[in-house]
Amino acid sequence: MTSQVATVFLVDDDAGVLKALTILLKVSGYDVRAFLSAEAFLVEHDPGLPGCAIFDVSMPELDGLELLAALREKELDRPVIFITGVGDIPTSVQAMKAGAIDFITKPLDNQQLLAAIELAVERDGEARKNHDDLKLIDSRFATLTRRELEVLRHVIAGKMNKQIAYELGTVLNTIKVHRGRMMRKLGVTSVAELVRVAQQAGVQPVAGNRKVQRD
Amino acid sequence: MMLKSPGRATYCRHEWVARASGLLLALGTLLLSCPAAAEDRQQRILLLEGLTATQPAGLRTLEGFKARLTEKGVKNIEVFIDFLELGRFPSQAHRRRTAQYLSEKFAEKPIDVVIPISRGALEFVMQYRDILAPKVPVVFCCTAASAASALGLPRDVVGVVNRHDWSKTLDLAERLQPNAHKLAVISGASDYDREWLEDLRRELALRIDRYEVRYLTGLTYDRFAREVAELPRDTIVLLAPVFTDGSGKSRPPPETAAEIAQASAAPAYAPIDTFFGAGIVGGFMDSYEAHGVAVADIVLKVLSGSDPSILPQQSTPLHTFRIDERQLERWGLSANDLPPDSTVLFKTPTLWEQHRNAVLGIAAAFGLQSIVVGVLIAQVRRRKAAEASLRESEERLAFAAASANVGIWRLDVSTGNFWITDHGRLMLGLRSEPVTMKSLLDVVHPDDRRSLAEAMSLATRRGAFIGGEFRVVDGEENTRWFVARGHAIADGGGPARISGIFADITDRKSAESEVEQQRREVSHLMRVSVLGELSGAIAHELNQPLTAILAYAQAARRLLGGANPELGQIAGVLDDIVHEDNRASEVIRRLHGLLRKGESKVEAISLNDLIESTLKLLRSEVIGRGVKLKVVLEPDLPGVSSDPVQLQQVLLNLLVNAMDAMNTTALADRVLAIRTRSIDDQFAEITIADRGHGLTDAQRAQIFKPFFTTKDQGLGLGLSICAKIVKASGGKLRIESNADGGVTASLMLPANVEAETVS
């Protein structure tokens, strides 16, 4: 995280302001992607880049608040700072409720802006870290075969190998092979560990002593 | 008319000199007036007179020629004239020299037709045609038919010839002397003379037998005079020219003819123009003027493209019976016997006539005297009464005029002096009398002097009605406004007097300017109020460049604080600051223009630019209201003339109205369509269509009335002021309902022709 330079996505329909902020933020050590309209940003936005976004509130077509809503609809929780020429209270309240990091009135105070960006980038980093862990687990789970996943669900339900072999209509040795391979793929060495990652990945154990369908 | 021999008529009377100089002047003007029409194909003709500029024959021909051109309304012909002086310089060398000179002279201005006047000139032209004007048509005149035939002219050389009509001349003599039975024929002794005599006899062959004919031919000059003095009174004398007498002497035939006619005891006749006026009664003859007219007609045909070779080679000019009134009286002949279309010349009142008039006058005077005395007595009384009444009437008028603060004036065109009533002079602050055009103009405001002087001179020349306003500055630098009205009173030719009134209209003018001032105030207040409504948006417009400037400044400071400040980059940032600062100034300038209170100034304006600038001012407002703009500007829109500030006010008003109307419109429908278009290059039009609540027909009917408004907070002055502004620029403002809701405001202004050509 720290090794990568944070990117600021800047959206303002005023070319003069856009250019000035771009220079200021670049000089301040950020990577800047500048957009003259909300639409252009939505097309070009790369969610994979760590960093934050600064939206001008008052823009033709999609305004800043609408843009934030559009972003959230795509289930992207990029931290956003709003800037505005006319800082009326209802708009700022609306913005903060929508989850903005800050709402700054033009002309922008340098300290306030940079502080807000710093905060936003930090938030983005944290969110991104959580997300990365999850993604790792998810990717490991994705490598399991259907049979291995079945075995896993039986294991975390606290069943013995013999029991599992019976319920899945196979022999003990086969279950042992599946179980060993599954543990290896998920990078766990104990049942306790297995239970934790399964929980993180949202994998549910098989229910009680229900008869297992034969395939 | 030129005679067959080199001997020529040489009258030298003052009259001719006067005529000659007049004609030369007239020709001069003709030449001067020509360059003005030089764009058209100008044609040039060269008249070549054989003798000198003082010779009457040639000059009279030219006079006839010129008169004919004027009569025909010919304009695009440049007329040149040269006098060859072949009589004074008879040598070949002179002829060669002259030809060379003329050919070089007219190389600059090629000639379209050459007109030799007289046989000598015709011979000269034919001899040097190839140098002088090769292939140029030649139209000659004043040459005897026989002489022209003898020259063996090519077919493309045509002209007017002399013809001597002895038969008709005899007709004239017979009418005047019906009882005459004797005929005397005078002729000279040379072969030339004999040819003339033969012509005469041939022509009169059938009629001469009636008379007892006596041929007085080949006598000496003295004998001629003596013989004719012996003739019986009832003789008809026919005078053929005498070129050479019996002793072989030659004299100009007109001189001899004059001598013979004066000595003759019987009336003499001849069909020869040069004999006329010096003793003969008259004859059927042409005239030099008639030659001029005839040659002019041919020349015009040739110039208009007729091929000379299809025209008759020899034409005769108009012949008339010409009679010398003095001779009729000398011989006691009656003018009643003259043929109907005769021209009687030299009419001078005789001594007797003068006496008779005097006697009649004196007798009448005696007769009238008593009547006059009586009438005078009565008239004196009447005049006194009339004078009293006139004086009273004048006093009444002057009093009425003074009471109404009106001055009465009259301009005497011949003296250039004004008469102005006492009160009128007081009004204008004129102390001295008489009032001249100069002393009047001296008190007039310098800016108005020219127009007033022009109005006066126009009235003087054309007799037109005049009317105008002018200012007078008094000693204390106070300016007063006057209106003058007047009309010209004609007196025969041009207007003799211009008379009229003038009135002080300073109060009206100041009231007008006060109204104008108030109108400007209200207009300004409306602009301020529109801008007040827009203040938030305008502040935002100003905020943007300030935001950018601040960011740049902070960026620059950061750059300077770095380890290795890169100066190039800092310079770039500073440039950006300057740019943004200009942008802020631009916003302020635009605002200032609208807020300032000033005289209205009409300029050439591009409506497209004005719309773009106005939309920049409204940019934030438009965004803030969630209005989408659809702007379609015609690139080749003609320019218009108006006050840019006021016109921008109109646009602002219309745009804000349109946006206000859409306050309750669904967001997605808030579209404002702005278009410009040219209407036949005559008008430039702006249309602003909204999708707002629209107007009812009743509302629409009142929309331009002051204090009518559909807005809760509106004053109802915006559109009424807009309409006035547009009208003042000669345009039209309309508000119409759209078929699909909302209204369209259209603003049409007349195209500015100058601006269009400039752009």
Is A205 inside a domain boundary? no
Is omega for the bond preceding A107 within 30 degrees of 0, making it cis? yes
Residue A114, in any domain of the structure: yes
d(CA B263, CA B179): 22
CA dist B249 → A80, B195, B252, B418 (Å): 135, 18, 10, 71
Question: Which long-range CB contacts under 8 A does A71-74 form with residues at least 24 apart?
Answer: A71/A42, A71/A45, A72/A98, A72/A99
Q: Are B421 and B402 in contact (CB under 8 A)?
A: yes
What sign does the CA torsion over A150, A153, A157, A161 have? positive
Decide which of A134, A162, A184 is a domain's last residue: A134
In a domain, A46, yes or no: yes
B417-420 and B435-436: which strand pairing?
A: antiparallel
Q: What is the pLDDT of residue B23?
A: 47
DSSP class of residue A213 equals P
Question: Cβ separation of A16 and B545 shorter than 8 Å?
Answer: yes
What pLDDT score was predicted for residue B184? 92
Q: Would the pLDDT of B533 be above 80?
A: no
What is residue A103's predicted lDDT score, i.e. its pLDDT? Answer: 92
pLDDT tier for residue B243 given thresholds of 50, 70 and 90: confident
Task: Please state which CATH class domain B602-759 belongs to.
Answer: alpha beta
B548/A60 CB distance under 8 A: no
Q: What is the distance between the alpha carbons of residues B333 and B267, in angstroms, rounded to a whole number?
A: 9
Q: Do A128 and A170 belong together in one domain?
A: no
Pair A38, A128 in one domain = yes
| pLDDT tens-digit readout, B168-186 | 899 899 989 998 889 999 9
Would you list the domain boundaries of chain B?
A: 14-162, 166-285+318-345, 352-395, 404-504, 505-599, 602-759
In a domain, A50, yes or no: yes
Cβ distance B580 to A16 less than 8 Å, yes or no, reads yes
Question: What is the average per-residue pLDDT within B388-396?
Answer: 84
Q: Which CATH number fits domain B14-162: 1.10.287.3240, 1.20.210.10, 3.40.50.2300, 3.40.50.300?
A: 3.40.50.2300
CATH 2.90.10 for the B505-599 domain, yes or no? no
Give how far B669 is from chain A: nearest CA, Å.
Answer: 12
DSSP per position, B182-195: EEEEEE-SSHHHHH
Of the partner residues A13, A19, A63, the one whose CB lies closest to the CB of residue B576: A19
Of A176-185, B249-258, B402-411, the range with the highest mean pLDDT is A176-185
State the pLDDT confidence band at B333, using cuts at 50, 70 and 90: confident
Same domain, A119 and A24: yes
Share the mean pLDDT of chain B: 82
Strands A80-84 and A51-56: parallel
Q: Is the ipTM of this complex over 0.85?
A: no
Q: Which of A18-27, B44-53, B635-644 has the lowest mean pLDDT?
A: B44-53
Q: Is there a single domain that holds both residue A54 and residue A116? A: yes
For residue A158, is it within any domain?
yes
> Which fold would CATH assign to domain B404-504?
Beta-Lactamase (3.30.450)
Sign of the alpha-carbon torsion through B321, B325, B327, B331: positive
Which residues of B lie closer than 8 Å to A, measured between beta carbons? 536, 539-540, 543-552, 554-555, 558-559, 573, 576, 579-580, 583, 620, 622-624, 628
Q: How confident is the model at residue B11 (pLDDT cuts 50, 70, 90)?
A: very low
Indicate if A147 and A127 belong to the same structural domain.
no
Contact at CB, A108 and B548, closer than 8 angstroms: no
CATH architecture of the domain B166-285+318-345 equals 3-Layer(aba) Sandwich (3.40)
* The dihedral formed by the CA atoms of B591, B595, B599 and B601, expressed in degrees to the nearest 10: 30
In terms of pLDDT, which residue wins out, B207 or B553?
Answer: B553
| Overall pTM surpassing 0.80 (yes/no) | no
For residues B112 and B110, what is the distance between their CA atoms, to the nearest angstrom? 7
Q: Do B620 and A16 touch (CB under 8 A)?
A: no
Range of the domain at A94: 7-134
Give the domain CATH number at A154.
1.10.10.10
| pLDDT winner (highest mean) among A25-39, A196-210, B85-99, B700-714 | A25-39
Q: Say if A11 falls within a structural domain.
A: yes
C-alpha angle B704-B708-B710 in degrees, rounded to nearest 5 = 105
* Average pLDDT, integer, range A191-197: 88
Question: Token pair for residue B33?
Answer: 């007036």
A105 occurs within a structural domain: yes
What tokens does B696 get? Answer: 């009812």
Domains B166-285+318-345 and B404-504 share a fold: no
Do A118 and A149 lie in one domain? The reply is no
> Where is B759: in which H helix or E strand?
none
Clarify whether residues A65 and A99 are in a common domain.
yes
The residue with tokens 């020869």 is: B272
Q: Is residue A35 one of the residues assigned to a domain?
A: yes
Is pLDDT above 70 for B32? no
pLDDT value at A7 more than 90: yes
How many domains in chain A? Answer: 2
Report the alpha-carbon distance of residue B127 to residue B119 in Å, rounded. 12
CATH number of domain containing A51: 3.40.50.2300
- Amino acid found at B33: S
Three-class DSSP category at B37: helix
pLDDT at residue A23 tops 90: yes
> Which residue in B has a C-alpha nearest to residue A23's C-alpha?
B555
Residue B18: predicted pLDDT: 45
